[in-house]
Structure 1
């Protein structure tokens, strides 16, 4: 019996530590994505706990985690600017959620099953590479780029690699020492921690605690190394209790409900959020150690409900997010309770934990994310894909490179196109088998034969010497395209003049194919 079929509390020993890890990963990402979107910082945290509490409870996935996504930052920033007010934008978020509910009812989730496995693995490896590359500047205390950024191009005409170079040239020694301390603690605890205390103290939490403690030590014994600038630390806005939270963000402006611009932006959010969620769900299912399959239509409905609630509370749009999901799986989550509990922790961070969490250095979190990235993009992954042959390895590499140089959706689209090319190429090559012994030739249709196979069939016909005997065997074909029929008809005519004897064999399922020159056999 898989864990999700058992009582929800039976796996708390695994789900609670996993929730802590996901919370630590999600916290700076929620804030960073809100900052990059030009939205209030709290909107990211609201979207984060809605993604955990609402989507986590309704989703059919046992390991996926939802929240604000970096892939929507451009859409959010442009939408807020175009609509002129954040209250109007969150109306678009509510409407986007309603559209996603419609997608789920129309069973649009099946789209996810058309993404080749090689592309999914390429996406995971690309996310891993992005995590490593994007966290190097944070590890060095160069925190100009927001946490959660996945784009290759950066502000000021730079890119991921130029940011790394700038970080090396402007490294903060204190931040780097904290990174090294956190990374060392994480690696050591991975080796000995489970033997000492079991799974209740996950390595990621140990890394963050060591990083924060190191910065406290610097405060008392090495003030020059102490990180005091808020740009180097987690920065949660401090609110005055529940009342302050309820009125911290505006409510949707329903007076603009009939505005076509609002609906256009809502449709854009709904489509992008749905595609990203389905891609993330597919990738999460591949990483799930129990190999559970998520019902995609139910996921779209859960995401729709999440966006309706997030928009009503003033939060950013939510999607399933592969970074948080992979952190959840890597931390040992067994059921969706880990996603729900991470949402509870995000809510508590807004209510009461801000003064404590604001002492966490971003360089300590960078150690956690870099290790996670290295696992997603390990050499073993590349070796496995290489062993599967060119038809798998090329789409894998193209997807990885395309995502690194563009963004997730564009990269996956390019990868899918390359994958489709290899599928067509494989079918094209294997549909027609040509063999001969002496002057006896066999042309066998090994599977369905379409117009794409016509050039190779014509080449085979032209290579047959005069005076030969040819057997055209279609018994294994369920379908023979009319273009192929015409090519065979033409060959039957020319065979007479070339003294070629032709025999035709057809399957019972292809009796509807009538060769005009069958008498020539």
Structure 2
């Protein structure tokens, strides 16, 4: 349900997201080897259709950079874009089924340290990827999140290459834009409400257009070329506009290749959506919790619609969602407005969009990246201890040097290692005391849940019990004791007499278990 109660906040936020989204949609379509307009279709569907169904108040959906490589190979392997569209439709059906099966709960099992690492990692990669665009080197597509560049090279080599291809007008626009954005955010927005309603990014885009017009008329040698501007496809007529839409070819819908690709798209898109949904909720200043299963259904419907009219597969995307939050968006109206604006501009005035310098958008995204990866975040995670900090920092490094999903996978592996290590260490508590007779008595109390992972730690402790000691093993407070651990204790019981150890074992009685279950 769309609410207009927060229109004064959602309208300017929606405009900012719209400005950021258009070049990202085009760039991802270009990287996917698909028609440029297919990215715009996905942006419109994500902004309007998905937003209407989704329960996320601040999430923004559209074509995702993480799917670009998959889409590129899928179009080549399936032989045509139209056949690929049938796989997108089928992927949407699979997502819809996953939503009804309540598969969205998977997203709740990602540790906070990894989610925060994902946000900071995306912030770092946005900064690194936008530096060449700020210099005026626009060879790579907007929205690229991979360390290895499509044309060869890496994120860092592209930055060094950009230094050799500096475009003075782009540098002037990006530097002035960054100054305005910082001044607007730190000073003007706190002086008057008018500066909160009119967002700095909108001013920056208008300034970029105006400066380039000045360059074209008075300093032609400085004017930006077309490859430094947004390049939205322009239709000659209304009929030409509708001809840009494509219908899928369902003739091979039941073939193994299409079904396999649909399954791949559904799984990857769902995973990326759930991760972004969790991350967006972390950034939400109101700490609202979005329904994950409903989001899967919304994305499923979105992909069905997008595939039917010629659009790329879509997910919830963190860059546009972050821009929405940082621009003051409060409800899903802002995401809806961004979708409506894309539709309206591509129909009515696409030439205006094609006047926007990519350097202006680079400045906006540099600010988005900085706010996602603020130094304060690194300091707070470090203060939380190594168990939180290491998965956080390793996730960031992995995202920067691989890609989003690979980086999160590596971060998850590190987080799971610490979870297992912690489980290994907290399997039991051992207390030692001296009796009246002068002997040493040991009390071992097992944890509430003891699994096979704790075998090694418990075994090491039992081996350290000296000869002639008394030992009590108590697991009356344990809700779960794995069979392997019980077997370990039974083996120790059989050999305890060889070390003259007096052993007593306290187990929870079956009658007590029945009583607890009845309560």
Cα drift, residue 92 of structure 1: 1.2
Cα drift, residue 16 of structure 1: 0.5
Q: The residue matched to 2:449 in structure 1 has which SS?
A: coil
* Residue aligning to 2:29: 34
Rounded to whole Å, the distance in 2 between the matches of 1:391 and 1:281 is 24
Label 1:481 to 1:242 Cα distance change in 2 as closer, same or farther (>3 A): same
Aligned partners of 1:478 and 1:509 also within 8 Å: no
Among candidates 214, 217, 221, match of residue 217 of structure 1: 214
Is 1:200 paired with 2:197?
yes
Rounded to whole Å, the distance in 2 between the matches of 1:425 and 1:510 is 34
Q: Where do residues 379-418 of structure 1 align in structure 2 (5 Å cutoff)?
A: 379-418=375-414
Aligned partners of 2:27 and 2:141 also within 8 Å: yes
Cα drift, residue 81 of structure 1: 1.0
Is 1:179 paired with 2:180?
no
* Residue aligning to 1:499: 500
Cα drift, residue 511 of structure 1: 7.2
Cα drift, residue 236 of structure 1: 0.9
Is 1:288 paired with 2:284?
yes
Among candidates 416, 422, 433, match of residue 420 of structure 1: 416
Normalising by structure 1, we get a TM-score of 0.94
Cα drift, residue 492 of structure 1: 2.1
Cα drift, residue 179 of structure 1: 0.5
Aligned partners of 1:277 and 1:319 also within 8 Å: yes
* Residue aligning to 1:347: 343
Rounded to whole Å, the distance in 2 between the matches of 1:453 and 1:37 is 48
Is 1:159 paired with 2:126?
no
Label 1:303 to 1:170 Cα distance change in 2 as closer, same or farther (>3 A): same
Rounded to whole Å, the distance in 2 between the matches of 1:371 and 1:113 is 29
Q: Deviations over 1:359-378 (max 9, x none)?
A: 11101110000011011011
Rounded to whole Å, the distance in 2 between the matches of 1:383 and 1:267 is 40
* Residue aligning to 2:465: 464
Q: The residue matched to 1:489 in structure 2 has which SS?
A: helix
Cα drift, residue 446 of structure 1: 2.1
RMSD: 1.6
Aligned partners of 2:427 and 2:458 also within 8 Å: no
Cα drift, residue 223 of structure 1: 2.0
Aligned partners of 1:193 and 1:201 also within 8 Å: no
* Residue aligning to 1:370: 366
Aligned partners of 1:46 and 1:310 also within 8 Å: yes
Rounded to whole Å, the distance in 2 between the matches of 1:303 and 1:170 is 40
Q: Deviations over 1:177-211 (max 9, x none)?
A: 11111111111222214534142211111111122
* Residue aligning to 1:256: 252
* Residue aligning to 1:146: 141
Among candidates 56, 71, 75, match of residue 70 of structure 2: 75
Q: The residue matched to 2:345 in structure 1 has which SS?
A: helix
Is 1:15 paired with 2:16?
no
Q: Deviations over 1:45-88 (max 9, x none)?
A: 11101100000111000000000000111111111111211111
Rounded to whole Å, the distance in 2 between the matches of 1:448 and 1:419 is 20
* Residue aligning to 1:304: 300
Cα drift, residue 241 of structure 1: 4.2
Aligned partners of 1:181 and 1:211 also within 8 Å: no
* Residue aligning to 1:274: 270
Say how many residue pairs are matched. 506
Among candidates 163, 169, 184, match of residue 189 of structure 1: 184
Aligned partners of 1:241 and 1:351 also within 8 Å: no
Q: Bigger CA drift: 341-350 or 431-440?
A: 431-440
* Residue aligning to 2:46: 51
Label 1:443 to 1:145 Cα distance change in 2 as closer, same or farther (>3 A): same
Rounded to whole Å, the distance in 1 between the matches of 2:50 and 2:70 is 21
Q: Bigger CA drift: 21-30 or 480-489?
A: 480-489
Cα drift, residue 386 of structure 1: 1.1
Normalising by structure 2, we get a TM-score of 0.94
Q: The residue matched to 1:8 in structure 2 has which SS?
A: coil
Rounded to whole Å, the distance in 1 between the matches of 2:290 and 2:117 is 20
Rounded to whole Å, the distance in 2 between the matches of 1:54 and 1:306 is 6
* Residue aligning to 1:517: none
